[in-house]
Amino acid sequence: MITLTIGEIATAVSGRYDTAGTDATELTAVSGHVETDSREIETSGIFVAKPGDVTDGHHFVGAALQNGAALAIVEHRVDVAIPQIIVDDAVDALAALAAEVVRRVKAQGTLTVIGITGSNGKTTTKNLLGAILSPDAETVTPRNSFNNTVGAPTTMLRVTESTRYLISEMGASGPGHIAHLAAIAQPDIGVELKVGMAHAGGFGGIEQTAAAKTELVAALSADGVAILNRDDPRVVAMASQTPARVVWFGEHNEADVRAADINVTAAGTQFTLTTSDGDSIPVSFKVLGEHHVWNALAALAVARELCVPLETAVRRLESVTRAERWRMEVMGGRDKITIINDAYNASPDSMAAALKTLALITPRQQRTVAVLGAMSELGEFTGDEHDRIGLMAVRLGIDQLVVVGPEARRLHISAINEGSWDGESTFMQTADEAYEYLADELRAGDTVLVKSSNSVGLRFLGDRLGELFS
């Protein structure tokens, strides 16, 4: 974070300063990272004591002090000898502090903020863009999937006076969330990847999801740039909702940054990159899955707007070997058994894309195995969407389906009801049962996809299988 005095921080968050028996004054400067987890605190850091669903951050102010915290932002005074700023709402204070820090750095005229949203692909795209931009200048990107009302401001607070690029991943589980994050970050460039059924339960349906995703480009100024997916009709409709200049990416002939001649293999994806400037460059993209081509194009479109030479951007893109931990992560190898661990998150769209990739990259003579768990946060659409994935697994010709957990049982039933399967779909109550079954069931040459929402925890099953067959 940039250096601020305690007094400046208190003003920014509309808080009241309490020395809590220390020698610190309002003129004491603080410049460490801001964290809501006391375990992540480093020397001179700021701890935000956020009440949570399970526990209360105020219980961990002492631990934050022991780990080096120089200041705590709290909702009530804590009996710990650390300077404290008392606020009405810790999460609101976090947002206010992030907005002030970003505002100050942007006022220097050297910081460009890129906001990225979409139902799928945000984390992959920010990682790809980070890999392209960071060799040239200080670039701040979110850790993991820090994209909500707590994680996104925490990332923004990592900017310093020398930061050139801030990449802000903007997620939402309801209307207004992205508008809130955009108001904090004031993005110069907004990237809209895709509108799908992820978190549909919170939005109330896909049209409401589209409206919420539009909040990012609607927040751009006339001097900004909206990077939009030309292949998604709901994203195309956003062009009329932004005052910013529009740049298109996709496979469509009208895209300014376009992929053609796409070829997907187990080693990655090859395509020809063309631009509206007349450039044409072959790309060998190592991240597995055709659906990640859109993410690559979005990152390249942003890099093009930031004047990164196209050849340089492509070379850096090609150096990325995986989207993210537990996202289409290729593991295993013994007896030519390949484990694809893609169980960090799952929506109907990403589940469908992963199944299609499994079917596409597996040689005809080898067996496809899909280990699937539940897709969460779908609300009233849960049953229908699990039915659809079960039917898709059958129609894609997946050889063996292993469904894990009671929340996903409907997927198993739908696959059985679809037709003439005889034992090709198996249901397991727990990940441990699935592991024992697969340890005996998998055979040489199998390609195995492990996919579920994060809350189901199948990513750890994928890790165990990857280690077993390494």
Q: Closest Cα partner for 40 from 158, 177, 171?
A: 158
Alpha-carbon distance of 175 to 119, in angstroms, equals 13
| Both structure tokens of 339 | 């484990």
Q: Is 443 helix (H, G, I), strand (E, B) or coil?
A: coil
121 among annotated binding-site residues:
yes
Q: Which contiguous run of DSSP H or E holds residue 85?
A: strand 84-86
The DSSP output letter for 327 is: B
Name residues whose C-beta falls within 8 Å of residue 464's C-beta, 6 or more positions apart in sequence.
435
321 among annotated binding-site residues:
no
Alpha-carbon distance of 169 to 147, in angstroms, equals 5
Structural contact between residues 232 and 384, judged by C-beta atoms closer than 8 angstroms = no
What's the Cα-to-Cα distance from 269 to each of 120, 287, 292, 454, rounded to whole Å?
Answer: 18, 7, 9, 26
Name residues whose C-beta falls within 8 Å of residue 25's C-beta, 6 or more positions apart in sequence.
6, 19
Alpha-carbon distance of 21 to 10, in angstroms, equals 17
118 among annotated binding-site residues:
yes
What's the Cα-to-Cα distance from 353 to each of 81, 145, 288, 348, 433, rounded to whole Å?
Answer: 53, 20, 11, 9, 26
Alpha-carbon distance of 80 to 65, in angstroms, equals 8
Counting beta carbons within 10 angstroms of the beta carbon of residue 207, is it exposed (0 to 12), middle (13 to 18) or buried (19 or more)?
exposed
Alpha-carbon distance of 257 to 304, in angstroms, equals 9
268 residue type, one letter:
G
Alpha-carbon distance of 338 to 271, in angstroms, equals 24
What string of DSSP letters covers 321-335? Answer: --SBTTBSEEEE-GG
Length of the chain: 470
332: left (phi over 0), alpha (psi -120 to 50) or beta: left
123 among annotated binding-site residues:
yes
356 among annotated binding-site residues:
no
What string of DSSP letters covers 285-301? Answer: E-SS-TTHHHHHHHHHH
The DSSP output letter for 258 is: E
120 among annotated binding-site residues:
yes
Residue ranges of the annotated binding site are 118-124
Residues flagged as binding site for ATP: 118-124
